[in-house]
Amino acid sequence: MLLIRTIVRPEKKDEVLAELSTAGFNAATMVDVVGRGKQKGIKIGGMVYDEIPKTLILMVVPEDAKDTVIKMILSIAKTGTEGTFGDGKIFVSPVDEVYTISKGTQGL
């Protein structure tokens, strides 16, 4: 099982989640976060904005679904044809165990 942490633009989150849901990956958790990337924030005039609002989406998926999910997120969350700074990142980490509380069983 893998945990996929995706940071996307807040205006793209609905689209990403709707597409993932129709592809059968309904379960997701999202948090509003602020952050900056390697562009070191945005400079407008003399002001530097280094706490840019983004949405963090957490999903735990089976290992064989990883490529499908990542490809889907990449295609939707990208802005413009070449992509733009600030489109976000995807991190994948291993998950050892998953428990569903209501059933009291192990597994997604």
Q: Shortest gap between Cβ of 49 and other proteins (angstroms)?
A: 23
What character string, x for contact with other proteins (CB under 8 A) and - otherwise, covers 48-77? ----------x-x-----------------
Among 3, 52, 72, 76, binds other proteins (CB under 8 A): 3
Looking only at Cα atoms, what is the longest distance across the chain? 55
39 binds other proteins (CB under 8 A): no
User: Cβ distance 89 to 37 under 8 Å?
Assistant: yes
Taking the C-alpha atoms of residue 89 and residue 77, their distance in angstroms, rounded to an integer, is: 10
104 binds other proteins (CB under 8 A): yes
Window contacting other proteins (CB under 8 A); options: 26-34, 38-46, 64-72, 79-87: 26-34
Taking the C-alpha atoms of residue 50 and residue 34, their distance in angstroms, rounded to an integer, is: 9
Taking the C-alpha atoms of residue 23 and residue 34, their distance in angstroms, rounded to an integer, is: 28
Residues across the chain: 108
Residues that bind other proteins (CB under 8 A): 1, 3, 18, 21, 26-31, 58, 60, 93-104, 108
